Each structure stands twice: as structure tokens, then as C-alpha cells.
Structure 1
Amino acid sequence: MNASERIDEMIAKLSDWRGPIFARIRACVLAADPDIVEEWKWMGSPVWSRDGMIAVANAHKGKVKLTFAHGAGLADPDKLFNAGLEGNARRAIDFFENDSIDERALKALIRAAIEYNRAHLKKNARPAQAKAKSKTV
């Protein structure tokens, strides 16, 4: 079973309000960029990546949590982050029963995370290239 099938199965098993919320979050993530990759990590967590990890989602007893790996480095003009605000790297959005999802703002935040990953990837690639050149000289 691949990661997408495992995520489908996990959502189907969420028989209360968390299933539909989780499905909508997933749809927003995937709609934000066609090259986002779904993964299944840490013994049961859906993870979305593009040029690095974007976010991980988990269904908890009273909420669905979407944690952005580099959320502290992202602008959040729509004030979506409501959890993990004290962290140095991660930020999260906790969705509760009857919460609405601002799909436009969530997609924008996901795209910002992709841009963060791309900038970070380029920044780290230069020293690696320079190191490789120095070994061949």
C-alpha cells in the first residue's frame, strides 16, 4: 500500500467530524501545488513535501493538527497559526469541530512553505557544491 492509499484508509477510519476536516485539509495541500508528494512517516503520520517537508497532519481526540516544519520562518498574514507559536521552527494550525477552513489562506501558506524550502535548498546547496569542488582540486 502506498502513502496516498494509507492516508485514504486513515481518513476513512475517522468516522466523526475529523474525517471530513482531514480530507479538506489534504485537498487544500494537494491543490496548492501539483508537485507536492504525499508520504507516510513516523508509524502513521501523513506528510507532504516539496523540495523538503512542508507539513505533517495528525488526528487527535479533539482536533486535527497540521504542523508546518518551518512555520516559524513563514509569514502568516491571515493568522492561521494558532498552536506551537513559541517554537523556534514549527508552527501549527489546530482545527476543531465546526471550524471553517480558509482554503485560500491555507493554500497561500502552503505555497509560502514551498518557497521557504526552495530558498533553504539553494542556500544549502552552494556550500555543498563548494565542498565537492575543493575535494576534487
Structure 2
Amino acid sequence: MTDWRTERVDRLRSLIASGDPAMVEETKWRKPTNPDGVPTFSCDGLVATVETYKDKVKVTFAKGASLTDPQGVFNASLDAGTRRAVDLKESDALDEDAFVQLVKDAVALNRG
């Protein structure tokens, strides 16, 4: 049986990739406590990371504080100076269109 977090990460991976055809996924920060590492997504600079925790999946946008979020997708790290995040628990819904728009805006910001 597939863990809900795996399914959520797979869907997020697809949504992030759809934000720009030049998006590159890499795995970074492998360590004994996280042998699978952290998926990172870059397009002309770091766009986002996806981390899995016991009770949630977290997508952190590297420059999220510089993005407008009219749909209120960001719900974590709201006081951080540079980044913003989306924490998703098993039953949480995600506005996928608004999420993809954040990805596109993040890429545009990187391209400056």
C-alpha cells in the first residue's frame, strides 16, 4: 500500500514540473536520517524544495516572500524573511491552479 505522502509528493512533483518546461529536479541533502534526500526544483535558480514529515508534506519556495499569493496558498513560514511554505496534511486540499501560478511566478522572479 502506498503512503499518502508518497502520492502527495508525486502530485506536487508533477505540478511543479508543469510550471516551466525547463524545470530541473535534483535530490540533495542525503544523510543517514534522510537517505532519500530532499527533492529540489530549479529553473534559473532554486524554485522550491519538497520535504516529507510524519504528519505533512512541506513545499518551501526559496523566494516565496517576494511572491504575491492572492489565493492564500502559503500557510507556513509566513514570518520568514525570504522563503514561504505550503504545509499539506493528509486531508488538506490544494488549489492546484494557484499553486502552479506560484511556481510560474517563482521562475519569472528567478529570471528577473
**Alignment partner of 1:56 out of 49, 55, 58:** 49
Of 71, 79, 83, which aligns to 2:76?
A: 83
Shift of 1:16: 1.8
- Is 1:113 aligned with 2:106? yes
* 63-72 or 32-41, which deviates more: 32-41
Letter in 2 for 1:64: V
1:1-137 alignment runs, 5 A limit: 15-43=2-30, 44-119=37-112
What amino acid sits opposite 2:58 in the alignment?
K
Alignment TM-score, normalising by the size of structure 1: 0.75
The percent of aligned pairs where both chains have the same amino acid is 44
RMSD: 1.2
Instruction: Tell me: higher relative CO, structure 1 or 2? Use CA pairs within 8 A at least 6 residues apart.
Output: 2
Aligned equivalents of 2:20, 2:8: Cα separation in 1 = 20
Indicate the structure with greater strand content: 2
CA distance, structure 1, for counterparts of residue 81 and residue 94 of structure 2: 25
Structure 1 residues not aligned, in runs of 5+? 1-13, 120-137
Letter in 2 for 1:90: R
The structure with the larger Rg is 1
The amino acid of 1:37's aligned partner reads: V
Unaligned runs of 5+ in 2: 31-36
In the TM superposition, residue 101 of structure 1 has moved relative to its aligned partner by 2.0
**Structure 1 counterpart SS, 2:18:** helix
